[in-house]
Amino acid sequence: MPEAIERSLRQDCHASLDILPGLSARLSGHRIAVIGGTGFIGSWLAETVTALNDDLGCKVRIDLLSRHAAAWLAAHPHLDREDVAVQSVDARSPFELARDTTLVLFAAGYADPRMHASNPHQVFETTVHGLGHALAVASRLELLQRFVNISSGLVLGDVPGDQAMSETRIGALDFTRFHNVYAEARRAGESLVAAYSGQYRIPASTARAFTFIGPYQALDAPWALNNFMRDALSGNDIRIHGDGTTRRGYLYGSDAAAWLLKLLLDGKDGEVYNLGGAEPASHSDVAAHVAALTTPTPRLVHMSKPGLAGRNHDFFPDLQHTHSDLGVRAAVPVLSAIERSMQWHARRLGVTRRLREDVASR
């Protein structure tokens, strides 16, 4: 990874950690296991742990357990270090954790809707059976301080209205249709955590993820903002579906990692916390921002006439509970998050010429 990218990631990690005074000192000495550890969240946690250790003298160890261990290490050699242990594990089968593990994060699963559509069986197995294996092994850890399950805001189902989604306002979900298997599996996962928490008194909490943005996310992931960035960086028009008013709340990777570390330390037993961006931004607004960062400026093409798509697909969290209980805040606002993501992707793809000159040089 080019030095400029590493430097930029490190700065982001510190910006997010700086908002949470005392967090770094309290993390010192912990050993964190992340199941499903080479995805977006695991990668950002590894970056954050190395920032804590290198620059703040913390002694944190992180174990990343994943089916893609070798490929991830090959792609990110700067994270091939002693304090980042990467282990090849498929969560669908039982596995073990280091005995001195103190914090466990279950981040396995498939956020990609293409996978939900093509292989719902595997989605269910990883989400539910994988979580079951993680809870079972965590329950045997003598030093365990907290288990956090990363769930999804999709468990909230169909909630009418265009307001922020709170943890407790749960709507209907047709569990008989295969396209709801992912959300239903996440619901089952939350029930499983409740069972372990209630029956075995495991200190467990749940983080409900909404929308993330940032480096380590695949540019071809089928989410609107990623598609806008891909279109722009490949020199094409930016195509917006629907009327562009649909809103998402984006949380940048370094903020997500810092929030999860805080949750691992300070989460309450049995509590659910929303994890996402506080400022909802419309598809039209983020597309316009992507276009403004690109040269030559791509056209914004609306693929359907306003009003024809017609339905509200807003998806952003109410963060009141998360903010008040954990005291977390985002360090990287959405527009900066988009700019950083564009820079990261452009550098990795070798297309910085497509960024506006002042953006490319920042």
Residues binding another protein (CB under 8 A): 113-114, 116-118, 177-179, 220, 222, 227, 230-231, 234-237, 239, 241-242, 303-305, 307-309, 311, 313
Sheet holding 31-35, edge to edge: 84-88, 61-66, 31-35, 103-106, 146-152, 204-209, 272-275
C-beta closer to another protein: residue 78 or 313: 313
CA distance 50 to 87: 17
How would DSSP label each residue in 28-86?
Answer: TT-EEEEETTTSHHHHHHHHHHHHHHHHH----EEEEEETTHHHHHHH-GGG-BTTEEE
Helix (H, G, I), strand (E, B) or coil at 273: strand
∠41-144-9 over CA atoms, to 5°? 25
Q: Which is nearer to another protein, 53 or 227 (CB)?
A: 227
CB of 39 to another protein, least distance (A): 18
For residues 134 and 191, the answer to whether their CB atoms sit within 8 Å is no
Three-state DSSP state, 355? strand
Tell me the closest approach of the beta carbon of residue 223 to another protein, in angstroms. 10
Angle at 101 between CA 99 and CA 102, to 5 degrees: 135
Between 68 and 239, name the residue whose CB sits nearer to another protein.
Answer: 239
Buried b (16+ CB within 10 A) or exposed e, 40-57: bbbbbbbbbbbbbbeeee
Closest contact distance (angstroms) between CB of 237 and another protein is 7
Q: Which is nearer to another protein, 116 or 289 (CB)?
A: 116
Report the nearest approach of another protein to the CB of residue 112 (Å).
8
Q: At its nearest, how many Å lie between another protein and the CB of residue 336?
A: 26
Task: Spell out the alpha helix ranges (H) of the chain.
Answer: 3-18, 23-27, 40-56, 69-75, 113-118, 120-124, 130-139, 181-199, 224-233, 253-266, 283-292, 320-326, 334-349, 357-361
Q: How far is the CB of 170 from another protein (least distance, A)?
A: 22
- Whole-number minimum distance, CB 128 to another protein, in Å? 20
Query: Which of 143/303 has CB closer to another protein?
Result: 303
Tokens of 221: 């992931």
94/235 with CB nearer another protein: 235
Cβ closest to another protein, residue 77 vs residue 350: 350
